[in-house]
Amino acid sequence: MMRWDPFKEIEELQERLGRGMGYGMGRGGRGDQTLAPLVDVWEDEEGLHLAVYLPGIDPDKVEVTAEEETLTVKAERPFEKQENVAYHRVEGPYGVFVRSFSIPAVYDLSKVAAKFKNGVLYLTVPRAEETKPRKIQVEVES
């Protein structure tokens, strides 16, 4: 006879709700869903900065593309199911992560810099030279 665990029902409900909202492994436990990674975005005088959170993802599986006024980050964290293993819980995000950002024309997408550190992709989009403030020489007439 199994002991009744009131928290087990709550955990199962949370898991079902999470799957319905796009978390977890995807349909049939294959990890074949598309997820949107979390991101921080800020701006300073240098330009636009983005921190895209991709925990557990191999940097070789990260792709950054800039096209027209759109910056796109795509990464993959496949679920590698092992044989003869009984999985009791798999809550980590698996699948393809995609996030696109509309970048205003005041930034130069041809000069995007990308660094990956501790599961976070850091992107810097510098201001376009023609939009940077510049000092205007004032001529004095005599």
Q: Residue 72's domain is classified under what CATH number?
A: 2.60.40.790
In a domain, 142, yes or no: no
Q: Tell me, what's the pLDDT at 88?
A: 87
What one-character DSSP code corresponds to residue 130?
A: G
In a domain, 39, yes or no: yes
pLDDT digits (tens, 9 = 90+) for 53-101: 999 999 999 999 999 899 999 999 988 889 999 988 888 888 999 999 9
Structural domains of the chain, count: 1
Q: Could you give the CA distance from residue 53 to residue 59 in angstroms, rounded to a whole number?
A: 12
When pLDDT is averaged across residues 93-116 and rounded to a whole number, the result is 93
In a domain, 47, yes or no: yes
Give me the phi and psi of 66, to 5 degrees please. Answer: -125, 125
In a domain, 112, yes or no: yes
CA–CA distances in Å: residue 38 to residues 55, 63, 68, 122, 138: 10, 16, 23, 12, 47
In a domain, 9, yes or no: no
Give me the phi and psi of 92, to 5 degrees please. Answer: -70, 150
Q: Could you give the CA distance from residue 36 to residue 75 in angstroms, rounded to a whole number?
A: 10
In a domain, 123, yes or no: yes
Q: Tell me, what's the pLDDT at 80?
A: 87
Q: Could you give the CA distance from residue 19 to residue 82 in angstroms, rounded to a whole number?
A: 22
pLDDT band, residue 40 (cuts 50/70/90) = very high
Say which residue, 12 or 59, is predicted with more confidence: 59
In a domain, 136, yes or no: no
Q: Tell me, what's the pLDDT at 29?
A: 43
Please state, as a whole number, how many other Cβ atoms lie within 10 Å of the Cβ of residue 90. Answer: 14
The pLDDT > 90 percentage for the chain reads: 51
Q: Does the pLDDT of residue 25 top 50, yes or no? A: no
List, in sequence order, every residue forming a beta bridge with 70; answer none if it has no partner: 67, 102
Compute the residue count for the chain: 142
In a domain, 38, yes or no: yes
When pLDDT is averaged across residues 127-132 and rounded to a whole number, the result is 77
The domain containing residue 41 runs over which residues? Answer: 29-81+92-128
